[in-house]
Structure 1
Amino acid sequence: MEKEGLRRSLDLLEESSIKIQTFLKDRKINHYYDVWHMVKGLSKKVEKISREKDCSLVKKLHKSITNHLYWSASSSDSGPEKVAKWTSIMNHIQDIHTHSDPAFPLCQHEQRVSKDHSKWFHPGSTALNRLHRVLTNKRVLSDVEKLSPHYQTSTVESFHKVILHFAPKNVVFPFIGMLCRYVFSLRT
């Protein structure tokens, strides 16, 4: 998309009779993935697991899992650190707060002793095994490493959802109709 945007911008400048003598760019481009889109995909899989037999605890931790993904991305300085923090959730949901990965060896929250063992996953349980398969598969870990530590598109996505409510894509409106619907959506 960036390449296409650049091409169109250069074409526009050329059509406007603006001559470009030099074009300078970074040799390396940092490419990040949006956390919101990843959360959206993982949430569907976690939701599906929570409906399975003996997996009701997954439903209770669904929000915590998605929050953990945002935190892993925003609080890390490198890809391996993001992955280490993300995979620590598998220990954390078992009430284990030390980890074998040196990039993130210990949970940062205050250590508390839990007396209620029913709110934690038990090693070898069906729910834990299914969750482990989804949250730590090779593709997920590869994507976690590339998550954006800074900017997310969730606010833009929410804005577009409001716009689509008032002006759905499958209905054709004249320009003035679209303008009115757009302005009305901003006021609500």
Structure 2
Amino acid sequence: MDVETNKMLSFDTQQIGSGVSSVGLEKIACRNALDYLLSNYVKIFMICTDRHVAIRKMLREEYSDIKHEFDVWHLVKSIGKTLLAASKRKQCNDLTEWISPIKNHIWWSGNTCKKYPDELLARLNSVLDHVRDIHTWEDDNSQYTSCKHAVLDEEVETPKKWLDEEGASFEALKKMIKDNRLQKDLRQISYFCHTGDLEVFHSALTKYRPKRLHFSANGMIARTQLAALDHNFNVNRSQAVVKKQCESSGPVGTPRYNVAYQKLERNGSSVLSMSPQNRILFPQ
């Protein structure tokens, strides 16, 4: 998918056989799709993927002239899982309340680093100071020397507990943030790319390729082609507007939305919450 136009440019389908796993086929399909674009004189400046080990190695060795970025959403999701697992350890309960703020901080760091990896790391690593209630510091290698939030009033009690530098929670957080592999991977989200629009296409793809039905290889290709044509035709379609006012809609001429509600897990079963704070609006 092209990032600027959100249109599907190429795809490749592979059939699982003996001795080849679905993970290994992702590398083969990625190479075929890239080679198809390059053979048709498409200049590729950058490609965004998840942190697939085989694809990472292939792009580094075979397509070194193409810049490789990681999907921010997948990286943040992985960090969130690591933090959640660490918070369940003994004496690390204080880390639980910091999981969502740290994930939001990673998004903010990638969005405000202006495509400079060093600046991204400086902003992201500052979370180790913030969680200890330290909001200004000295850094000769960066101009980012203080938190960008408003000055915290000492009289106002924060809902989160500041972490002790010598505590188990802070040590677990520091070990994860300062991990050499993670620090290296974080440098590849400086362009703030994410595959949200591609996930939307995958969701629409199930209309043409239901996962519960079996199709032949040619059928899979044809159905994927139909889904790509449908997506490309509607990608720039303007949002629907209210033409006739009613109780559930806004004034005439305002954008229309489909209303959905989040599902909450209670006692192992899904419960539909109809409260306003759990409402989600989808453009029509």
Q: Whole-Å Cα distance in 1 between the matches of residues 206 and 97 of structure 2?
A: 31
Matched with 1:110 is 150
Instruction: Tell me the CA shift for residue 91 of structure 1.
Output: 0.4
Q: Is the 8 A contact 1:33 1:147 kept in 2?
A: yes
Which shows bigger deviation, 126-135 or 136-145?
136-145
Q: How does 1:83-162 map to 2 (within 5 A)?
A: 83-102=121-140, 103=142, 104-115=144-155, 116=157, 119-157=161-199, 160=202
Q: Whole-Å Cα distance in 2 between the matches of residues 24 and 152 of structure 1?
A: 20
Q: Whole-Å Cα distance in 2 between the matches of residues 163 and 25 of structure 1?
A: 25
The structure with higher relative contact order (CA 8 Å, sep 6+) is 1
Instruction: Tell me the CA shift for residue 163 of structure 1.
Output: 5.7
Q: How many residues align?
A: 172
Where 1:32 maps in the other structure, the secondary structure is strand
Q: Is the 8 A contact 1:97 1:107 kept in 2?
A: yes
Q: 1:36 to 1:24 in 2, by over 3 A?
A: closer
Q: Is the 8 A contact 2:132 2:164 kept in 1?
A: yes
Instruction: Tell me the CA shift for residue 99 of structure 1.
Output: 2.9
| Structure with greater proportional helix content | 1
Matched, 1:167 2:205: no
1:91-128 Cα deviation digits (max 9, x unpaired): 01111011333422111111113354861101110010
Q: 1:80 aligns with which of 118, 127, 150?
A: 118
User: What RMSD in Å do the two structures reach over aligned CA positions?
Assistant: 3.6
Amino acid at match of 1:42: I
Matched, 1:50 2:87: yes
| Structure with greater proportional strand content | 2
1:104-161 Cα deviation digits (max 9, x unpaired): 2111111113354861101110010011101221111111112043431134336636
User: Identity over aligned residues, as a percent?
Assistant: 24
1:71-90 Cα deviation digits (max 9, x unpaired): 11110021100000010000
Q: Is the 8 A contact 1:75 1:149 kept in 2?
A: no
Specify every segment of 5 or more residues in structure 2 that has no aligned partner in the other structure, as ranges: 1-26, 46-63, 231-257, 261-284
Normalised by the length of structure 2, the TM-score is: 0.51
Q: Whole-Å Cα distance in 1 between the matches of residues 187 and 106 of structure 2?
A: 11
Q: Whole-Å Cα distance in 1 between the matches of residues 99 and 206 of structure 2?
A: 27
Q: Whole-Å Cα distance in 1 between the matches of residues 176 and 169 of structure 2?
A: 11
Specify every segment of 5 or more residues in structure 1 that has no aligned partner in the other structure, as ranges: 14-19
